[in-house]
Homo-oligomer: A and B are copies of this chain.
Amino acid sequence: MAAAPPTRPALRARYDKRQLEVIEVAARVFAERGYHATSVSDLTEATGLTAGGLYHYIGSKEELLARICDALMQPLLDRAREIVATDAGPEEQLRTLLRTWVEHITIYRHHMLVFAQERHVIEHEPHWRAVRRQRKEFQELLDGLLERLEAAGEVRFGDRGVALMALLGMVNYTPQWLRPRGRLGADELADGYLDLLLGRQAA
C-alpha cells in the first residue's frame, strides 16, 4: 500500500495532487513503453522522484495500473448514467453520449492505450472484477440506448449485437490513430461515427 495520506489538513491537498500527477505521468509512460516493459526506474525518471519518493505515493506498480483504469472509467460511467437518465429522446441521448465519450477518449488518450494493452489481464484475472464491471455497465447502458433507438423506429439494425460491438470497436480504436491537435475534432468524429451507425451516409 501507499503511505497513509497526511493527516495534517494543509498537506492533504498537495499529497493528492502529487499522487494524481504520478498517475498521469505513469499513464503516459505505460502508453508509450507498455506497462510491463516500463521499469520503476523509468517511472522515477519520468516523475523526477526516486524509488523511495515514488513509493510514498503509490503502493505498487500494479496499483498504479488500477488507478489509471479507474481514472479512465469512473468519470465516463458517471456521465453516461446522467445522460441516459435525462428525458431526451434516444437519438439525442446517443449523440450526447457519443460526443462525451469521444471527447473523454481524446483527453484520456494514454489511459485508453494502457487499458487496451492490458485488457487481457483485466478481462480474465478475478482481481480486476471492479474495472470489468464498470466496462460492462457502460456497454449495457449503450446497448439499452440502441434498443430504445430501434424501438422508436429511428433505425433497424440487422443485428443489434453486431452494431453494439462495431460501435465499441470504432470508438475504442480511436486513440490508436487520432492525433491530439489534428484535423478532426471530437464532436465531429463522434457525429461521423453516429452517421455510420445510423446509416446516414448518403447512398
Contact = CB atoms under 8 A, between A and B. Distances in A.
Interface of A: 31-37, 113, 116-121, 124, 154-159, 161-163, 165-174, 176-177, 184, 189, 191-193, 195-203
A178 to B, nearest CB: 8
A157 B196 CA distance: 9
A113 B117 contact: no
A156 B121 CA distance: 40
Contact of A173 (B31, B154, B163, B169): B169
A184 B156 contact: no
Contacts of A120: 31-34, 113, 117
B203 A199 contact: yes
A12 to B, nearest CB: 35
A85 B194 CA distance: 32
Grouping DSSP codes into helix (H, G, I), strand (E, B) and loop, the A interface class, with mixed when no group exceeds half, is helix
Contacts of A177: 165, 168
Contact of A156 (B158, B174, B197, B203): B203
19 contacts: A32-B120, A34-B36, A116-B116, A117-B118, A117-B120, A155-B201, A155-B202, A158-B191, A158-B192, A159-B184, A162-B192, A163-B201, A166-B170, A166-B196, A168-B177, A169-B174, A172-B173, A196-B196, A199-B203
Contacts of A158: 191-192, 195, 200-201
A8 to B, nearest CB: 39
A152 to B, nearest CB: 12
B173 A165 contact: yes
B169 A172 contact: yes
Given A117-B118, A166-B166, A170-B170, 18 more contacts: A31-B120, A33-B120, A34-B36, A37-B121, A113-B120, A117-B119, A155-B202, A158-B192, A158-B195, A158-B200, A159-B184, A163-B201, A166-B196, A169-B171, A169-B173, A169-B174, A170-B173, A199-B199
